Amino acid sequence: MGPDALTAVSVAQQVSELLRARFGRVTQIENKGEVDLVTDVDRAAEAQIVATLRSLYPEDDILAEEGTGHRGGSRRCWIIDPLDGTTNFAHGFPWFAVSIALVEEGMPKVGVITQPLLEETFVAEEGKGAWLNGEPIRVSGTDRLSEALMATGFPYDRRQSDIDNLDHFGRMQKTAFACRRAGSACLDLAYIAAGRLDGYWEMKLKPWDMAAGVLLVTEAGGTVTDFAGGVFAVDGPEVLATNGQIHEEVAALLVEGKRP
């Protein structure tokens, strides 16, 4: 494992200890939007990650969900979600993660995702593969959507916009074997890489939701595109990630619905 990946793993695991200690003990919850929360734990976790990365990589840019990063025009940028699944965390629902990615000129080079309560660490490096707690992982071999376990999520503006993913979700529920909505985009992507899910789609995400996870999927042998099967961009409006074998079938279903 290279030095950048080792750093990301160390930082993510340290923050995971903070999240474990604070789970069930949230003292401050604020609304960033009508259904978008931030807690004091989000801010404490982000501050810890940003401080460590700034000390180790002072020339690198940092893009962080709660806005405490640093942008200076570097070709290298750390993309951070200190607590993906804040709504779950705030309600005591035990499904959340830490996500750290290193992107160079728009391309993910390192991706690390930790699930603090399960003590699972997913790691990917460009061209080197993907691992879970040190063991190599691969996507599933499911080759039919009717046998696939899918995952998704819904955008924060779903009360105001009719582009809300509900049409896709309804269609997928009738076509796939089953569909889950657990509330952490990065964990959905990590679970595809580990072969626990067969596919995932979502719209209106941010780079910190996807950057680490998409690298995990591709390094584990999967496919990542936009809904129509076109080129994926980490700052784009939509993501479709699968094991590769069901990708065309899922894309054909998604292009029938509304897109951002």
Least Cα distance to 47 among 30, 17, 29, 68 occurs for 68
**Model confidence at 68: pLDDT above 90:** no
pLDDT digits (tens, 9 = 90+) for 199-239: 999 999 999 999 999 999 999 999 999 999 999 999 999 99
pLDDT digits (tens, 9 = 90+) for 161-195: 778 889 999 999 999 999 999 999 999 999 999 99
Strands 149-152 and 178-180, bridge-based pairing: parallel
Region 39-61: mean pLDDT is 93
Residue-level pLDDT at 35: 43
Token pair for 39: 């807690």
**Which domains can be identified in the chain, with CATH numbers?**
3-136 (3.30.540.10), 145-254 (3.40.190.80)
Q: Are 247 and 228 in contact (CB under 8 A)?
A: no
Residue-level pLDDT at 65: 83
**Model confidence at 103: pLDDT above 90:** yes
Rounded Cα gap, residues 191 and 193, in angstroms: 5
pLDDT digits (tens, 9 = 90+) for 83-100: 999 999 989 999 999 999
> What confidence tier does 30 reach under pLDDT thresholds 50, 70, 90?
low
Residue-level pLDDT at 108: 95
